[in-house]
Amino acid sequence: MPLFDHTIKELEEKIHNKEISVQDLVDASFNRIREVDGEIHAFLTLNEENARQKAKELDESEEKSGKLFGMPLGLKDNIVTKGLRTTCASQILDNFHDPLYDATVVQKLQNENGITIGKLNMDEFAMGSTNENSSYTPVRNPWNTDHVPGGSSGGSAAAVAAGEVLFSLGSDTGGSIRQPAAFCGVVGMKPTYGRVSRFGLVAFASSLDQIGPITRTVEDNARVLEVISGLDPMDATSVNLDVPKFTDALTGDVKGLKIGVPKEYLGEGVDPEVKESVMQALKVYESLGATWEEVSIPHAKYAVAAYYLLSSSEASANLARFDGVRYGVRTKNADNMIDMFKKSRSEGFGEEVKRRIMLGTFALSSGYYDAYYKKAQKVRTLIKNDFEKIFENYDVIIGPTTPTTAYKVGEKINDPLLMYVNDITTIPVNLAGAPAITVPCGFSENGLPIGLQIIGKHFDESTVYRTAHAFEQATDYHTKRPQLGGANK
């Protein structure tokens, strides 16, 4: 059995019983990367020397402590790491070899003795839904390399699905953890906004971005979120709440759970196979003693438009610092200072990033601010109110994570509007700031994974995990593996 088919808890026991060493786990990770990453392209930068040194130190240490002791992990390449290149998959940060500090989540993982294997590929500056916007190379879906892995955390999801690392961290601004996790058949959690520190996350849209874990099982996901959550004085938006022991919520008991199913999430544009998998999942919940009813998110139809105005406006402000002076690669062909700014940004940013900067700058400009940005903020409040109204009567909201399964590489890259609309089921959650998880709930006829999205009340990740875990334990979708290369032994 491949090592990474075990849970964190099982591997922890094997280490304590001296059945395996931390060096065995790290070897398994790098061997698997060498075996399959030529097909997947999940990693942009490897941390091999430091990872092996850390593994050796942990094996030699007397005290085997830490919730993630010796566990190999990957980090999305927009999470800064001291001494390890951080590019955001953009040419403008190609030379950012040492950010000089670790993000708060990286410090927390290190404090629990997790081992960073490397930095993971992504859509440039987290802008995209397919990972085709990486300025280095597109990531491929481990289930079928002709298909996209989703985005923007495509490398984070693909690396876990392919067995290259035990778990990874991604960031979710409009679905960028949940959508690729669904496309790759793994578990992805977007926590409540403010649950996890954003300090050290290169900002795309500061009021929407949230870091979260991608894993193979719900139990592993809950354990990682316990580690990375909590108040951080370096992030004014992190919330001062006690971090629950999320793993304690994994009881398997959902008797009496009230589920709301938005009719907007199962209507026009949702693939029949996806809809059928969600309906079958609801039958599983019925058999476990839960009940469900159809509900409505009436303002969901405005979510995509509001999101792209708000996120692009924030991106316009956040990406102003990447100018070849304060940050980023500087052009070698400038005649003067203004020319240097223009050419550095023109050469450094890809097409999608430029598109969103231009949209955001327009929405914030004099004469258009009220008509676009301000109106989008009002729509955001209406969507948040829609969720709160549903949660007055229901414990969780359930629907598909994505309207379709993963599409083919190149199929939609030339139609950005079509790609934007595919985020219709994930974007409202970010606008509302609520927590949501995706778990595998089936496969299409051509063998591609389908994801079930479970949305919870603010800071009630425990109920989301309990609901997800009960479904996972009642089915076997999470045990399926893509046929890619050999076994990650």
Point out the residues that are catalytic: 76, 152, 176
* Separation CA 279–CA 272 (nearest Å): 10
- Residue 485: helix, strand or coil by DSSP? coil
Q: Are 306 and 70 in contact (CB under 8 A)?
A: no
Structural element, H or E, at residue 260: strand 258-262
* Separation CA 191–CA 212 (nearest Å): 6
SS (H, E, C) 94-124: CCCCCCCCCCHHHHHHHHCCCEEEEEECCCH
Q: Are 403 and 271 in contact (CB under 8 A)?
A: yes
* Separation CA 376–CA 313 (nearest Å): 11
The pair phi, psi for residue 185, each rounded to 5°, is: 70, 35
* Separation CA 239–CA 17 (nearest Å): 38
The set of residues, in sequence order, having a beta carbon less than 8 Å from that of 391 and lying 6+ positions away, is 397, 457
Burial class (CB within 10 angstroms; exposed 0-12, middle 13-18, buried 19+) of 180: buried
- Residue 453: helix, strand or coil by DSSP? strand
Q: Are 130 and 154 in contact (CB under 8 A)?
A: yes
* Separation CA 252–CA 109 (nearest Å): 27
